[in-house]
Amino acid sequence: MKINYILLLSIILPTLMFGQMKNPKNIPFGWKTDTTNTEIDLSEISIVMPRGSFQVLNYPEFIGKEKGLKSFFAKEPIMYVEINGEAKAYSLNMLSVHEIANDTLGGVPILSTFCPLCNSGVVYDRRLAFNGKEYLLEFEVSGMLRKSDMVMADKQTETWWQQLMGDAIVGELAGAKLKVIPSLIISVEEFFNRFPDGKILSKSAGDEESQKYYGQNFYKNYDATDGKPYGRFFDSNSLDQRLAPMERIVDIRSLGEFKIYTFSKAKEMGVINDEFNSKNIVVFYKPGIVSILDKKDISQSKDIGTVTVFNSFLEGEVLTFRKEGEIFIDNNTNSYLNITGRCYEGKLEGKELDIEPHGNHFAFAFFAFHPETKIYE
């Protein structure tokens, strides 16, 4: 009998590659992903839950200000995006239950993501141009983790993607990268102050089982000051010692390099004016937002403050800012700005700073993927 060795290898190799991944619960492998096409060592991946364990939000329902303020408490954190004059807010607590929302805003296909284990919230563009082809992707939660961070999967090619970075790591599209869409994490109250006509994710978006967990925290005391990531998902021996593992940070990128700013430093200074690789940025801090990774009832959680990041180039010049009380003030014109970078009084009234593309993460998670990053001192 003549044996087709190429066909045989195409069956055996992916099985052997799958065997390299950590799978302590012997969870069935439900993927057609080409695991031979990989950008990483597959032993870094842990299979934690079966495929389909998370209800992903696909084009969910949103509600306006009146219902939104009744459904959510004032200091509850949301991640918002504004595109072409339309603004949507995604409750971080709801995203901690679903982790992914495929959506459209202002005519742009977007992907709102949040990994609670890394406290990582990032919004991406679902459109991709790669190797001469164009794709419109939809995503799901794979049930796998790498370095404690969620591994996403697109439904079109079953390629696996790293949530924190937006990189395709295994499969047909390995080597591709999603574009980050600028977003901010602020409170429900701040969102509707800034966007009275904005929309917020409705609590009816999830199924009945998911709705039971809204307002609750699966990861009680996870973000304690002296805490560490769960050892079953992250090797504590590889923790970077430059910052406490659960220190909250925001990151920016310029000319292929990264720089991070800690919440504690932003709180200390109120405003950080900085320049990195020819990019001028400003970081704002104010209290008034709670953690969703502290108390079981998130409404009782500690105040962690809001940190927002903007490009400080406006009206043809680089601006610098100071903070007086809860007001951010442009040093050149004494114009007043709010935490969303919009000027509401002074010469620049009606103008707003461009959000600098960034993500919010725990320090340990960002170091795991970018150990070379610079830290603002």
Q: Is residue 363 a part of any domain in this protein?
A: yes
Helix (H) or strand (E) segment spanning residue 61: none
CA atoms of 119 and 229, how far apart (whole Å): 11
| Per-residue pLDDT at 4 | 57
The CATH number assigned to the domain holding 366 equals 2.102.10
The residue ranges of DSSP E strands in 84-230, in sequence order, are: 86-91, 100-105, 108-115, 120-125, 127-130, 133-136, 139-146, 149-154, 160-162, 167-170, 184-187, 199-201
In a domain, 217, yes or no: no
Angle (nearest 5°) at CA 311 between 101 and 353: 80
Establish if 248 belongs to a structural domain.
yes
**pLDDT value at position 3?**
52
Q: CA separation (Å) from 95 to 78, 123, 214, 267?
A: 9, 12, 9, 26
Say which residues have a Cβ less than 8 Å from residue 2's Cβ, sequence separation at least 6.
none
Q: Which two tokens stand for residue 367?
A: 């170091």
Per the structure, the complete domain to which residue 243 belongs is given by: 233-375
Domain-embedded: residue 261: yes
Beta bridge partners of 27: none
Model pLDDT for residues 245-297, shown as the tens digit of each residue: 999 999 999 999 999 999 999 999 999 999 999 999 999 999 999 999 999 99
78 found inside a domain = no
Which DSSP state fits 1? -
Residue 47 falls inside a structural domain: no
**pLDDT (tens place) for every residue of the chain, 377 residues total:** 455 545 444 444 454 455 689 998 999 888 999 999 999 999 999 999 999 999 999 999 999 999 999 999 999 999 999 999 999 999 999 999 999 999 999 999 999 999 999 999 999 999 999 999 999 999 999 999 999 999 999 999 999 999 999 999 999 999 999 999 999 999 999 999 999 999 999 999 999 999 999 999 999 999 999 999 999 999 989 999 999 999 999 999 999 999 999 999 999 999 999 999 999 999 999 999 999 999 999 999 999 999 999 999 998 999 999 999 989 999 999 999 999 999 999 999 999 999 999 999 999 999 999 999 999 98
| Residue 187 neighbours by CB under 8 Å, 6+ apart | 74, 75, 76, 77, 78, 288, 289, 306
**Helices marked H in the chain:** 5-18, 65-71, 92-98, 188-194, 208-211, 263-269, 363-369
Query: Does the residue 241 lie in any domain?
Result: yes
pTM given for the model? 0.93
Task: Give the model's pLDDT for residue 162.
Answer: 98
In a domain, 331, yes or no: yes
pLDDT for 31: 93
Count of structural domains, the chain? 1
